[in-house]
Structure 1
Amino acid sequence: MAIISVMSAKGAPGATTTTLLLATLWPAPTIVLDADPLGGDVGLRLQRSDGRAMDPDRGLLSVLPAARRGMDPVAVAQHTQEAVGGQPVLVGLPGPEQAAAVAPMWPTLIDLFSQVSDADMFVDVGQVQATSDHLAVVLGSDLLLAVYRPTAWSALHLRRRLETLEEPARERGLRVGIVGIADPDQERDRQAASAAIRSGLGWVRDYGSIAYDPRAVVMFEGVTVYRPERSMLARSARTVAAQAYADLAGSATPHDVAAAVEDDDAVTAGLPGGDGSEVKPTNRRGRRRGVRRHRERSEVTS
């Protein structure tokens, strides 16, 4: 199965929302992992499917001791919590105080998660740089998505960050792409920012944009949103999810995958906050299998 990490360079362009959104709309079962070493937001923003708050001690903190002893990848699912809408979540660290203790375990953890066979994993890695303690998570992924806003400073910060990550990423054959968070009226600015980021970085792929949609994004904050699957937020994210899935699968075309996502009630039912939202099934007839993970990856070029 595949590991997809989502990062930002500076500020809060929307990496956590992008992680949750793409995981929900992915045309295969997924698990969301909050791996932000500064303290995760996922467990604070989402409620469990029973309406209670997420348990901060069940997730990454409960996986750690088991991983030290040699954990069966099948048991990872036992440490997840089901969010409203049915999305399985591995809650992250409560704060940066635990980051130092976890740092030596990241290589072990990412190896463990790469062996999970029944779900692709979306990882919110927060801000990343070449010296980050959790860099092993990024480099152990199959795809890294970097999120930015259509502003000069956001593009500049992300470009500089990708430049520092180029050597280790290319050595590992890590696919890297960028995703803009922009109002539809800002598409020209978004394209200009994308061009500035990718200039001279042909190994970085442009996955387009997810709509900046404040009225819909609150679905991930416990607010009811009418027909969230029809929002600009969800529709634009489907396109990004389809392209990324097709790239990792290496078979289905983005058009075929997009059509499947658009018509898959099991996927749209997984969006939280909608009227009459249902539990997202982890295995349902007709759903695509997760992307197989290739341990020997060739270098990604333009």
Structure 2
Amino acid sequence: MAVVSIASVGTSPGITTTAVALALEWPRPVVLVEADISKPSSVIAGFMQCQISGVRGLSTLSQIATIGHLDRESLLGSCVPLTSTGEDQGTEKLLLPAVANPEAAGGITTLWGELAELLASLDSSGVDVIVDLGRWTGKRDRRVAMAERADVFLYGLQPTFPALAAIEYGRKSIEPIRDAVGRGDSSSLVLFEAPAGGSTSSEVRKFLNMPVAGEIPFSPKRAAVFSQGNPATKKALRDGYMASIRSLRAKITKDLSTIRATMEEATDA
């Protein structure tokens, strides 16, 4: 297992919420990377309820990258524990917070390629990575390396006609670069139930000719556990929303295992 990226094209129906839930349910040590450059850390403001500062994170790494090279120590030193209080619970689940100043984020150019390489290397030490890309902005998106190096790339969308049209256009800026490095067959969809209407998963598969890795029900109350830091009751952890997160996690880990087995066979050959 290694790097999983999740993004939306057009609207962002629940990308960060799902990324947080996946990280907390992940079976191995994991780093959640907030690579959405449109806003400060929504995980610290939401899930962590501003109980820690957002000083560390991509802003720190960007400064290091301008004067030297990134390494595992600088990466982990820029992370914070992924808990609602920020209390130190080891390195099992970490958050790399978003760039603190979105206005400055647009000027970051050299960081992404080096960071993508570093994140991919964590697999050798038993650490996986989930990258929240937020909204993908198209061919000129400077985070292209984060999409290119992802072992699994997930497109999050509500199955409505406007969203389907946006994905059909937007993936044309992502899939060619993934095809070029042999990762084009590991992209799939995560469908977020629309509040009203919407196409079925089978209709979406047929229209986009892409597999569906998971379907997340419309459940604002349950999602608020991960987006707003609301208390997680035992009932909430057993309901359909959490079942959908665990099902998505199982599908991703299965795909990653298949990818790893294929790579090992190719190496042996």
Q: Which runs of 5+ in 2 are unaligned?
A: none
Q: In the alignment, which residue of structure 2 is the partner of 1:79?
A: 78
Q: In the alignment, which residue of structure 1 is the partner of 2:191?
A: 180
| TM-aligned CA distance change 1:112 to 1:82, over 3 Å | same
Alignment partner of 1:242 is 2:254 = no
Partners in 1 of 2:135 and 2:152 — Cα distance?
16
Partners in 1 of 2:163 and 2:195 — Cα distance?
18
Q: In the alignment, which residue of structure 2 is the partner of 1:61?
A: 59
Q: In the alignment, which residue of structure 1 is the partner of 2:172?
A: 163
Structure 1 residue 74: deviation in Å? 4.1
Structure 1 residue 63: deviation in Å? 2.1
Partners in 2 of 1:17 and 1:193 — Cα distance?
22
Q: In the alignment, which residue of structure 2 is the partner of 1:195?
A: 206
- 1:135 pairs, out of 130, 144, 150, with 144
Q: Which runs of 5+ in 1 are unaligned?
A: 199-203, 252-290
Q: Tell me, what secondary structure is at the counterpart of 2:146?
A: helix
Structure 1 residue 18: deviation in Å? 1.6
TM-score by length of 1: 0.74
Task: Judge conservation of contact 1:73–1:112 (CA < 8 Å) in 2.
Answer: yes
Task: Judge conservation of contact 1:8–1:127 (CA < 8 Å) in 2.
Answer: yes
2:163 aligned partner, one-letter code:
S
Q: In the alignment, which residue of structure 1 is the partner of 2:44?
A: 43
RMSD: 2.9
Partners in 1 of 2:103 and 2:203 — Cα distance?
39
Q: In the alignment, which residue of structure 1 is the partner of 2:132?
A: 124
Task: Judge conservation of contact 1:183–1:213 (CA < 8 Å) in 2.
Answer: no
| TM-aligned CA distance change 1:183 to 1:97, over 3 Å | closer
Question: Identity of aligned pairs, percent?
Answer: 22
Structure 1 residue 151: deviation in Å? 0.9
Task: Judge conservation of contact 1:29–1:120 (CA < 8 Å) in 2.
Answer: yes
Q: How many residues align?
A: 251
TM-score by length of 2: 0.83
Structure 1 residue 59: deviation in Å? 1.1
Q: In the alignment, which residue of structure 2 is the partner of 1:30?
A: 30
Structure 1 residue 125: deviation in Å? 0.7
Q: Which range moved further: 185-194 or 10-19?
A: 185-194
Q: In the alignment, which residue of structure 1 is the partner of 2:5?
A: 5
Summarize deviations over 1:270-296 as a string: whole Å, max 9, x none: xxxxxxxxxxxxxxxxxxxxx79969x
| TM-aligned CA distance change 1:95 to 1:194, over 3 Å | farther
Structure 1 residue 153: deviation in Å? 1.0
Structure 1 residue 77: deviation in Å? 2.1
